[in-house]
Amino acid sequence: MNRLKRYIKPALYNILQNKIYALFCIIGTALTFVFITLILQLTYSLISNQPPSNNADRVLQFSDFYDTKGNYIGGLKPEEMTILLDNLKNVEACSYLNGEMTTFTVDDKLYTGDIAFVNGDFWIVNNFKFLKGRNFNSKECDERKKYIVIKESISKTCFRSADVLSKKIMLQGNEYEIIGVVDDFSYFSSPSETATMWIPYTYNKFVPSYSDYYTYAILFPEDSQMSENKEKLIKAINENFEKKNLSTDIRNINTLKEKKIESVGSNFFAYGVIIAIVILLIIPALNIVTLNTANTNNRAEEIAVKRAMGASRLSAFFQILLENFIQVFMGSMLGLLLMKPAVKLVESILLGEVLADGITLVSEINYQVVFLGVFPLILIFTILSGGIPAYFISRLNIVDVLKGGTK
């Protein structure tokens, strides 16, 4: 510990003596790690099971189909799905969803939003984080209860009061009572979920789309084989259409996890993330290497004197590297603090017209990603940006340096 202190005190002293250089390194590192952390968070949202897609790896989703000649033949009606599910047998839940872009009113004020008509099983298949209240169940759907669940963003936009439970929303001629508020979530955790409000499907008028087919998501047991479940489901769907003398070309039945990755492109996911991180590490590191080299060259005589007094090359190398590590660590921590504001800025400037209400790029920072992803990259960035100059300065001939020669 005492030996480490002997390195830390001179490192902090030299950083304070070169404030402009240190500030540049810290800010450059902060900007680098803002985007590195963002990429890691988005990747984590895609490959992990986060709300509302906690069961993404054991849910098969499908909607409508084409025949073998490429002609559109539609999807399955709820009554057809009931028969299909009876044949599958090993099903935990099956959600119905039909989304519509429509208008609604709150206190005589007109708004536009994405509405989803869903069944009770929708809340079993999808695990939303409820901030207030609850969801409606299958019995309440069948009883045609006029209930509605909304996102937090709708609550903030349409109501002045924080207490919105039991308040009313007028939609397509019916007045619905708010019984639950769910938290906003990351687009990458559930790209297919764009609704801001959810209503029992028994009130669905299929307006204005007039598409009377639902998107179905079937939740299978944890111990089941998804490849076998997919084969059984495809067989059951084919049998359903064969009764109508139709031959289906089924290609789009995948798990929600597979659909999430497909939404950003499987090739981009496989290679783009790695390439982006490498670029974000190398380009800033090269800039800092240039400045670091100039800074260490200016200190060549100081290092040479220390070595003449008995310091080893390894000691000189470690001293320079530690200074760089402190600056990189401070910059990376600043980057983590700036990530949320940076995400909001990107969303508002670049993606304001793309993302639906209540959908963000990153809903919350996962600290497991920080510890397992960011911290190792801090060490790599330190070695890239500080290791090279530290190595060369430690290799200089101290006699030549002290005579005013090579620096």
Average pLDDT per run of 10 along the chain, which is 407 residues long?
68 79 83 80 76 89 87 88 88 94 92 93 94 96 96 88 91 95 82 87 90 91 91 91 86 79 58 59 65 64 67 75 84 84 70 55 71 80 74 66 56
Residue located via tokens 């909304």:
150
Q: What pLDDT score does 135 carry? A: 97
- 81-139 tens-digit pLDDT: 998 998 888 899 999 999 999 899 998 999 988 999 999 999 999 999 999 999 999 99
**φ, ψ for residue 355 (rounded to 5)?**
-80, 140
Q: How far apart are CA 349 and CA 345, in angstroms?
A: 6
AA identity, residue 6? R
- 133-157 tens-digit pLDDT: 999 999 999 999 999 999 988 898 8
| Residue pair 96/78 in contact by the 8 Å Cβ criterion | yes
| Residue pair 323/15 in contact by the 8 Å Cβ criterion | yes
Closest by CA to 234, choosing from 244, 226, 222, is 226
CA triple 387-392-397, angle to 5 deg: 150
Closest by CA to 87, choosing from 243, 210, 197, 278, is 243
Q: Which pair of structure tokens corresponds to residue 342?
A: 């940076």
Helix axes 78-88, 226-242, angle to 10 degrees: 130
Q: Which pair of structure tokens corresponds to residue 1?
A: 């510990």
| Residue pair 26/331 in contact by the 8 Å Cβ criterion | yes
